[in-house]
Structure formats: structure tokens, C-alpha cells
Amino acid sequence: MSEKGIGIGQEEAEKRAIKRRYRALLKVSKNVRTKKDKEKLRKAFDIALEAHKDMRRKSGEPYIYHPLEVARIVAEEIGLGTTSIICALLHDTVEDTEISLEDIERLFGPKERTIIDGLTKLSEVVDYTVSMQAENFRKILLTLSDDVRVILIKLADRLHNMRTLDSMRRDKQLKIASETLYLFSPLAHRLGLYALKTELEDLSLKYTEPEVYDEITTKLKKTKAVRTRFVNQFSVPIVRELKKQKIKFELKGRTKSVYSIFQKMKKKNVNFEEIYDVFAIRIILETQPQNEKALCWNTYSVVTDFYQPNPDRLRDWISTPKANGYESLHTTVMSPGGKWVEVQIRSSRMDEIAEKGYAAHWKYKEGANESSFDLWINKIRELLENPEKDAIEFIDDFKLNLFAEEIFIFTPKGEIRNLPKRASALDFAFEIHSEVGYHCMGAKVNHKLVPLSTQLKSGDQVEIITSKKQKPNESWLDYVITGKAKSKIKSALREDKKRLAEEGKPKVQKWLKKSGIKLNEANMKEILKLYRLPNDHELFYRFSIDRINIKRLDSLIVEKGQIVGKESAPVKQSEFEKQLIQKGKTEEMLVIGEEMDHFDYKIAPCCNPIPGDEVFGFISINEGIKIHKTNCPNAVQLMSNYAYRIVKARWTSQQQIAFLAGIKVTGIDDLGLVNKITQLISEQLNVNMRSISFDSNDGIFEGTIMLYVHDTKHLHKLANQIKGIEGVINVSRIDA
């Protein structure tokens, strides 16, 4: 959009706002120290300002606000230096304006060119419209192993987009938020950027589950004063003792993020009030690196002198840091009021690494050995080396290695190896070397012979037993969890499959000849369709291992060696669909797609949406369009991996149609209460029930009722009326 439509007053106000934002950027750019660096930064700003001068964002603001804000995040929140800030200011110029990579190199240098080239390729990958994220995620990681700054700037770009997501359409908001939750927040986590990761998760929740987000934030605001008072009381004896010992420190209370509270509520199936560890207390010590460990343990001793620790909740990441460099000592202690409180103890250096991750790592890296972070990047490179891997599978493997908690395993010579939690002896064999993995027969864990599937525990000493005759088989995939082991096993199995397919080809030819079917492309297509196989190679392989039901060929109609059709089988209809058809016309209930057309669809059984729920359509391969709730457990994965198969969908009002929904009722057991509930549902509200089950235990009853409703309004009204019955404590919806 051009500047023409803007008044002189507004133009002046925007110019002042741009200057103000630029000054704010300079103020937080602590790593831009020399005059030369400041000049380069000014040059980058002037170029970006000129290049984007006629452009505006969806919100109507001047486009330059975006690169300025991304640069500020890069400088202040991630703590990067001049090169990164320059690249953040220019990150959209090559893609959106006349400026070329050659111009960038001429004006700034080869390093800036490389980073902006990486960012330009990335924005083609992670675009709001082209949603082949899974296919392209490998490219993101390739840039990660070239120059981590590309990913750090991309994360800053994503954070600013998430902060300004309000101006986007609802379906775009859902796609972007899901993709953020699925790919970017785990990446920020693994890069050690905890502050960024937390904000990305919270903002994603704000758009994927707005009601839940509002409820938790409101409750956190309400309980803030109580928490502050509690932290102050709890800290008094610790502060007094640390001051007495002349230890320099800072003590602060840290509230858990909205997203992590929500995850805990979901996992433990409890409400907000039942979560005891809504906050943690952090003690940050000022000391020299050589004294850190001793001082942290000394502080731990001070804390546990006053409060009883829970021995199962001690986490020592000072002796063995996490792979992303995170170091800290965590303990959970019992407060005088009977509440468990998490206390985190770390030095200011550890705190900076915890908040700013890899960027801070660089600062402290001189003279250190190869850091655990570099080892992690090398593991990613190994994953990337397998070009045949299916992209979705690749992301799943990668995410598993991103999220996993770690265990530490010793080799027979006493070397330490990091593995994800739940890793098996076979994972360890592949961690040592691919060849050791391929020929692994068994393992000795702590000198005792165990099967390959044995899950290892931190501190185990493991020796691998190999044999030249051993080779991988399919069952191995069931008990490995690391990306490296999975990828190497699959690669070996593929080679084996290739060999078997070659052996199966002449057998298939012989079989077709015998059945009077000519071997040509059209016939092959029909046979693959019949057996639902993706290609000839799979058919040859199945034939080679006797996994083909030859009798199914009888259903084909063959004339003069050519397949001309197939005898049709009657289509079965589900009970639920029959009921829908009896109750009303199904095609009038949903409008689907950009043009809001009418299509055939199915209700997804994983979340069972009903009218009134916010929904989206997913184009499945064999079953047409499936309708899911936007907060379905599978929504994040579907929107991230297959966003190009997502279509808009919304309900139209259809009073005569009934949908199956479930509610859970809890309350105080009272004579005749169940009767009152069933009477209200069936007699007063005229709602049909499909099933009802109640269970009573120690004076508390819990019931599940499956009933037919028109939409969410109908269901909410019903729930509110049931809540009005004396003795009922809670009514909540469950997925049918």
C-alpha cells in the first residue's frame, strides 16, 4: 500500500515513531560498541527504511516497524551483536524489495550475505500461505547447522509476528499459532532460549485456546498479591543467612507460564486452584566461575537448613549440564504453610545462559572444550544426512530429540554419553557407532546380560556385544527412540527391502501371466489400487515375502488380458451417520472452504465436534473431508504438517439435527439425585440420552451421560441447568 492515502499529520507522527523505535534499538544494543559498528547499523537502518517506505503491515502500520522490532528482540532479548542486528533490520529486503544479495555483500560483507540468504530461504519455507512446513523443515535445520544466527533471527521474527497476530484472519491465526507450538517453541527450548520459548507457547495458547488462556491469566492476576506476600515471608530466613555469610545474590519469585500451567491442568486433570507449584523461587549468585559449584551447594545447604527438601525432586544440572548448556540446581522444599515450593539456585553466568541460551554460550565459550551444544548440532547433521527420510517422520524424530529429558550413560572405559530418557541398550549401541548398532546382539548393563530392548537409567554402565552375523530387523524399531538409531535401522531395512523387491519382480510377472493379465502400466495401476499400494516396488516386495492375498484378484474383471473394472462391494454406513440422516439433511449443516461451499464430510472421532464448536476441515486421503475441533488433540500436528490440506469450516444453524455429546457430572451423593438429573434431561428438556453411568465412592458421585444435542449453546444451557440441581458440584464436557 502506498503512502498517498495518509495525511501529513499522520506521516509526521509515524516518522517520529520510527525515530523513537530506532533510538530504543540503539539503547538496548549493548554489544554494539565501536563507532564503526554504529555506522554500519545506521547504514542498515537507512537502507531498510528506504526499501520498505511504501509498504504496510496487515495492521496498517508502516512495515519498517517489523524489522525494527525484530532487531530489538535480537539485541535485547537474545543478546546478539552487530552482524545479527544488521541482518534482522534487512531480513525482508531481499525477498520483498529490489535489494539483491550482491548488494548486501557489497555494502556489508560475506557473513551478512550468508545469514540474509538463509533467512530469505527460510521465509520461503515457513510462509503463511505456502504450508509445506514438514517438507521444508529439513532446510531450516540445514541453516541451523551452518550458522545458528539464522535460526535465532528467525525466532525473533516469529516472536514479533506472534505478538502482532491480532490483525490476521482467524484461520491464519490458528495455522501460525499451531506451527509455532509444533516447531518454533521446541526449537527455542533446545537453543536454551527459555524466555522466548515461554512467550511463544503462551501466545500460541492465546490463539488456539482463547477461553483457557483468559481464564488462567485472570486467575494469575487475582492471586498475584497473595504470591508476592508468600515469597516475601518464605525468603526472610534465607535472605538473612545469605547476607550474614556476605554472599552477593538476587532472590526473585518466578511465576510458571500460562502454557505450562495449562499443560499441568490437562495432564493431572485438575483445575487451576489444585496446582500447588504455580511459581518457583530463584536465587542468583554473583561469583567467579571457579567458585560457582561450591557456592550453589552452600546456598542449597542454607535453604534446606530452614525447609525440609523432597529428596526425589533434587535436580543437579551443575555437575552435568543439559545438552543446550542449561546449568542450575533445583530442589523442592516444604514451606511452613504446607505448600511445596521449587527453589532454583544458579550463578549469574548460568542465569544468562538459561535466559539467552546459545547467544550467551558464545560469550563464555572461549577456551572451553567442544560444548554440549555443538555436540547436539552434530547430531542434527547426522539426522540431516539421511535424504530418503519421510519429512513428517523426520520432524517427529527431531522433536523427540528436541524435547527429551536426558540420561547419562557410561561406557566400559568410563566415558559419558548423553541419551534421551527411555533410551534402550540398542539406542546406546548406535550412539557408540552405526556399525556397532548394526551388529548388536545383546548388552551388559552394570555387568549383567540384558536384552536389546532394556530401557537404560542414568548412571548405568553399558557394554555392547556384537556379532558379524547379526543384522537389523523390523522389531528393532519398536525399542529405539533416538533419531540416529531409527534412521540407521530404517536405512538398513530399506536396503534389504530393495533386494527382496528385485527378487519379487519376476515372481509377479509369472503370477500375472498365469492369471491371464498383461503386464502393462494401466493394469499395474489397477492392481496397485486394488491392494492400496503406493508403487510397483512395494508390490514386488510384498510378493517376495508372501504378504499378498492372491484371491483378491478374482474381484477384477479382465477382458483380453486388460483389467476393465472391479465388482463393487456394498458401502457400510456407521450407526451415527444413519442417525444424522434420520434426524435431518447432513449436507446443510456445515459450510466448508474459502467460498464456503457444501461438501461431503465426516465428523472426526478423535474430538467429536458438534455445532457451535470452532472447527476446521482436513482433507484426508481416503475418507474425504474430516471435521475437527480447533482444540482437538491432533489439531496442532495437522495444521503444522499438512496446513495445505486444511480448509475453513463453520456451522450453519440446523435445529432439527442431533449430535452425540458427552458430559461428566460430579457431586455429593444424595438420595434421588440421579433421578433428578435424568428427569431434568429427558422430561423437562426433552433431550434423548444414549447411555448413562454413575459411580459413587465415599459420599462423592461421578457420572457420565451420553446425549444428543443440537449445538454447543444447547449443551451449555443443559449443563447450566444440571449445575442448578442441589448437590451437583461440577458439570464438564467430555469427548464422545
Q: DSSP character for 56?
A: B
Which residue bears the cell 491432533?
A: 634
Cα 210 from Cα 295, distance rounded (Å): 44
Beta-carbon count within 10 A of 448 CB: 8
Q: From the candidates 37, 96, 355, 670, give the one annotated as an active-site residue.
A: 96
Question: Residue 580: what are its φ and ψ, rounded to 5°?
Answer: -60, -45
Residue 117 falls in the annotated catalytic set: no
SS3 assignment, position 535 = coil
Helix (H) or strand (E) holding 621: none
CA angle centred on 148, ends 146 and 151, rounded to 5°: 110
Beta-carbon count within 10 A of 25 CB: 23
- Closest of 86, 104, 110, 73 to residue 36, by C-alpha: 86
Contact between 620 and 599 under an 8 Å Cβ cutoff? The reply is no
Strand-strand pairing, 615-619 and 659-668 = unpaired
Q: How distant is the alpha carbon of residue 248 from its chain centre?
A: 39
Cα 127 from Cα 93, distance rounded (Å): 16
Question: Residue 558: what are its φ and ψ, rounded to 5°?
Answer: -115, 130
Helix (H) or strand (E) holding 556: strand 556-559
Report the b/e string of 105-118 with b at 16+ CB within 10 A. Answer: bebbeeebbbbbbb
Residue type for position 606 = C
Strand-strand pairing, 462-466 and 440-445 = antiparallel
Helix (H) or strand (E) holding 377: helix 372-384
Q: What length does the chain have?
A: 736
- Closest of 440, 324, 452, 430 to residue 383, by C-alpha: 430
Strands of 245-339, DSSP E: 249-255, 279-285, 308-309, 315-316, 329-334
- Cell, residue 495: 536396503
Contact between 728 and 667 under an 8 Å Cβ cutoff? The reply is yes
Question: Residue 169: what are its φ and ψ, rounded to 5°?
Answer: -65, 155
Q: Where are the alpha helices (DSSP H) in 246-369?
A: 258-268, 292-306, 348-356, 358-365
Q: From the candidates 14, 37, 76, 95, give the one annotated as an active-site residue.
A: 95
Cα 106 from Cα 41, distance rounded (Å): 15
SS3 assignment, position 359 = helix
Residue 676 to residues 313, 481, 671, 725, Cα–Cα distance (Å)? 47, 52, 10, 8
Cα 239 from Cα 335, distance rounded (Å): 15
Cα 651 from Cα 614, distance rounded (Å): 8
Residue type for position 358 = Y
Q: Where are the alpha helices (DSSP H) in 79-168?
A: 82-89, 93-96, 101-107, 110-125, 133-146, 148-163
Cα 90 from Cα 702, distance rounded (Å): 59
Widest CA span in the chain: 99
Residue 3 falls in the annotated catalytic set: no
- Cell, residue 51: 526499501
Active site residues: 95-96
